[in-house]
Chain A
Amino acid sequence: MKDILKLSAYEMSQKLIAGELTSVELTQACLDRIAEVDGKVQAFLLVDEQGAMHTARLVDEKRARGEELPAFAGVPVAIKDNICVNGMKTTCASKMLENWVSPYDATVISKIKKEMMPIIGKTNMDEFAMGSSTEHSAFQRTCNPWDLDRIPGGSGGGSAAAVAAYMVPLALGSDTGGSIRQPGAVTGTVGAKPTYGRISRYGLVAMASSLDQIGPVARTVQDAAMLQSIIGGYDEYDSTSLQEDAYDVVRALEENTDLSKMRIGIVKELSGEGYDKGVRDTFDNILDILKERGANIIEVSCPSFEYALSAYYLIMPAEVSSNLARFDGVHYGARILPKEGPVTAETMMATTRGEAFGDEVKRRIILGTYALSSGHVDDYYMSAQRVRTLIQRDFEAAYKEVDVLLSPTSPVVAFKFGDKMNDPLAMYLNDIATIPANLAGIPGISIPAGLSQGLPVGLQVLAPAHKDARMYAVANEIEKILNPIWGGNILEQAPVLEGE
């Protein structure tokens, strides 16, 4: 592997600006690395060598002419395959969209293109972002670079594995219940879910609209903040988007944050029961280190979190059932005709949906359809919305006492393939620590917290809504404390993929 791939995206950009590196060299290095290891990792569904190299050359030419370029121009990025890129397949890892080419760019992609970042390709995911292991992809299973027999987390396992295996410095993910943070935790990468509305969802194939949020996947907190500032900001095409400063998260890292002046909260409900001992120990170890550095650690209780998973598994499928209704074989994507009986619009739709959706997707559509059906909507969907309000209030109350909240990101380290495939409820439990942030719309980030059984454990930092800058600042300070302890980025300790 070329050493330049071990640089952070920020360091890459500095070298590009200084003329010590060209984007063509860097992009080619990523492509070479993909050629070298993706046969094993299988993080990519599509690699756009031509497109990426075209952008890289353009950047180098402009730079050679002395033109002013955006900060991250020339730094490659990978895109989760549920984000639309004009002219590129966007499959959502589903047979339903196997050959669907988007005719438009998502807003985040327009911004990536404006930044002139080469788009390396599309990364694998659980079908329509439903799952916690990337085993639900209709096309391939992505492996965890730390142990190829283990899951890379989900649904954004492809983006996390691509970044963890040094195939690309940055990637975009989407987080509905933890799909950026949980893969981040189990692959040793940094993944952030911003405040709901900070990043436009226009062009993100919706799973559950009120919960989905696009976010950065990176190897450092700074890189994640930089990427968020690039893709964030108000968008007139998304009426839920916020009119907030997108760049404040980067400025926040430049200011010194004194952790000893921060009140750091530990959510009682997010670190005890159901969490692996190894995960708990790693988390406790971090707390000890922080205490040593003078951090003021306060335990808070969020009693409604007990119902978060239940509420999530009513609201999310309800929205899924409606959002995925458009995949019907009528105007794009797969169309499968019934093999028997009359061919009508109804039978065509039913056959298409029956055959082109995977089991997990169908499971959630059915759950959601039931939760919204008349006679049940009040008992299920509306009750879940009330729980959601209670969870928001729990957070608000907690943030009166503390500035940020810490918890493990995932209750377990990366498990082996197939371990939870036949037990949907066990699979759902993986997101127990990440889901409350989605229900409340608050920002959350996962950073590496150490190792358990030789596998990465994630630390989650949660901040109040709109306080993404504070979240990044705290995560950045913790990263600064931990890196020297590990002797650098924790990914350096991952078993090397090359030469095997």
Chain B
Amino acid sequence: MSKLVSYEKAAAEFDPVLGIEVHVELGTKTKMFDHAPNVFGEEPNTMVTPVSLGLPGTLPVVNKKAVEYAIKIGLALNCSIASSCRFARKNYFYPDIPKNFQTSQFDEPIAYDGYLDVELEDGAVFRVDIERAHMEEDAGKNTHVGGAAGRIQGAEYSLVDYNRAGVPLVEIVTRPITGCGDRAPEVAAAYVQTLRDIFRALEVSEARMERGNVRADINVSLRKTPEDKFGTRTETKNVNSFRAIDKAVRYEMRRQATVLLEGETVIQETRHWHEDTSSTSSGREKSDAEDYRYFPEPDLVPVCPSKEWIEQIRSSMPEMPAVRRKRLIAQWGISDVEMRDVINAGALDLIEATIKAGTSPQSARKWWMGEISRIARVQEISLEEVKVTPEQICELQSLIDEKKINDKIARSVLDSVIQGEGQPAQIVKDKGLEIVSDDGALEKAVDEALNSNPDVVESLKAGKMQAIGALMGPIMKATKGQADASRVREIIMEKINL
């Protein structure tokens, strides 16, 4: 294929249609159909029971908590909840599925016919129609050893880990998403991000993309105009970050546009996403004739959530992220863009908790988005993993507000807190870090500074107020950084009669 056409050209020449399937691993204590613990990162094949291994004679039993979580997700996506639904078997041979069929919902999903309003960068709202949300179990994980780049081709042998097999999943399938035009990449990424935020708010999943808790398969097709019927689609599998989703849609639009502009036809197939090159490559060809031989799972009775139960779940639903965000934007008096930064930093809950503890929104945000974010970046950990609590930040800020310490001292106190040296007020007391506001001591330090910097004094007299900065260093040094900077300023002004 020749060089890909530009994105602008692709978007100008064609109308993209998206279809997105998102899998979310539910954070239940046990697996979808058995008692094995649902945990990540343990030694291979240790988090299994005879059921998760699909041993002869074993039977599945539905995890009620997983059903509850699926209903929560359905309700959050404005879906109808089925009064009765069934599991089906999806039959296919692959070493990572213990039974050689996946227990999934086929024609009877637990939730169907919903929608999700997705807010884009500029505040525009795009509605994505949801066809269904259904329950299923995850597969195990194959590791191919000896071949290049962990691929099965050329591998000497393959290892199978069934720890993930049977982990509860909810798959959310959109209806064809039309009308997004050149904003298709943004819509796709924002949709998945909105879902991720909902999963977290519902506390049904840790929803960590990097761990594969949330996985997106992105279908893209192009047509000449919105009046034409849908073009042939490709499905890019397992795209694992919001940025990658944006890029994958962008790439597929360019690739398909190039194919179509050359008069060729797009092949219906799955495609692999390559993070390193930001491109996709052909996977296996997938035709609609692929035969999974679905039939109702005879080992499970139908799932029939009662009206009462559904209503009980509905009434216990937390505030949805979009609503909460709007409320907080107003309460905190910040912009949409600032809010997005807070969310991206993972600071929303922490800031809210700090405000709840008694800090002003502005100060709370400053701490978490400033100093603590910096520390997290340096240590390469998440904000939540920084060893300081919202209550401690609140205490620290109070010390500043009461003028007992200044910002600089506060930062060193924060370091001490993180080192586990104790509570902020105690640390200030123990180390004698309180601000020196005793005018006698300050005047002495100012005098010394003025005397040893006559040129600065000249500049000040000439009206160059910024020169005052040059005096602050020696003064702070003389007072071990504990001088009240504003009081120092006042004293300097008095001394040179300005």
Contact = CB atoms under 8 A, between A and B. Distances in A.
Given A210-B298, A349-B93, A372-B295, A202 B58 contact: yes
A100 B56 contact: yes
Interface string B84-111: 0000010101110011110000000000
A326 B100 contact: yes
Nearest to A368: B293
A325 B93 contact: yes
Interface string B40-58: 0000000000100111111
A201 B59 contact: yes
Nearest to A240: B301
A90 B99 contact: no
A328 B100 contact: yes
Contact of B293 (A104, A204, A369): A369
Interface stretch (A110-118, A138-146, A231-239, A278-286): A231-239
Contact of A92 (B56, B58, B289): B56
A238 B61 contact: yes
B54 A106 contact: no
A256 interface: no
A349 B97 CA distance: 13
Residue from B62, B101, B298 having most chain A Cβ neighbours under 10 A? B298
A374 B301 CA distance: 24
A289 interface: no
Contacts of B301: 239-240
A205 B99 CA distance: 12
A56 B293 CA distance: 49
Contacts of A237: 59, 61
Contact of A202 (B57, B95, B289, B291): B57
Contact of B295 (A240, A318, A346): A318
Contacts of B300: 239-240
Contacts of B55: 84, 102-104, 332
B56 A97 contact: yes
Interface residues of A, number: 45
A92 B57 CA distance: 11
Contact of A331 (B59, B62, B98, B101): B98
A107 to B, nearest CB: 9
A332 B89 CA distance: 21
A211 to B, nearest CB: 8
Nearest to B90: A322
Interface in A168-208: 201-206, 208
Interface string B249-268: 00000000000000000000
B399 interface: no
Contacts of A374: 289, 291, 293
A330 interface: yes
A83 interface: yes
Contacts of B447: none
A373 interface: yes
B59 A373 contact: no
Contacts of A204: 57
B298 A202 contact: no
A497 B294 CA distance: 50
A331 B57 contact: no
Interface in B392-437: none
B59 A328 contact: no
Interface of B: 50, 53-62, 89, 91, 93-95, 98-101, 158, 160, 289, 291, 293-295, 298-301
Interface of A: 82-84, 90, 92, 97, 100, 102-104, 106, 201-206, 208-210, 236-240, 318-319, 321-322, 325-328, 330-332, 345-346, 349, 369, 372-374, 377, 381
26 contacts: A84-B55, A84-B57, A90-B56, A100-B56, A102-B55, A103-B55, A202-B58, A202-B59, A206-B56, A206-B59, A208-B298, A209-B299, A236-B61, A239-B60, A239-B61, A318-B295, A321-B91, A322-B293, A325-B93, A326-B99, A330-B95, A345-B94, A345-B158, A373-B291, A377-B293, A377-B294
Given A202-B59, A240-B301, 20 more contacts: A102-B55, A104-B50, A202-B58, A203-B58, A209-B299, A239-B301, A240-B299, A318-B295, A322-B295, A326-B98, A326-B99, A326-B100, A328-B93, A328-B100, A331-B53, A331-B54, A346-B93, A372-B91, A374-B289, A377-B295
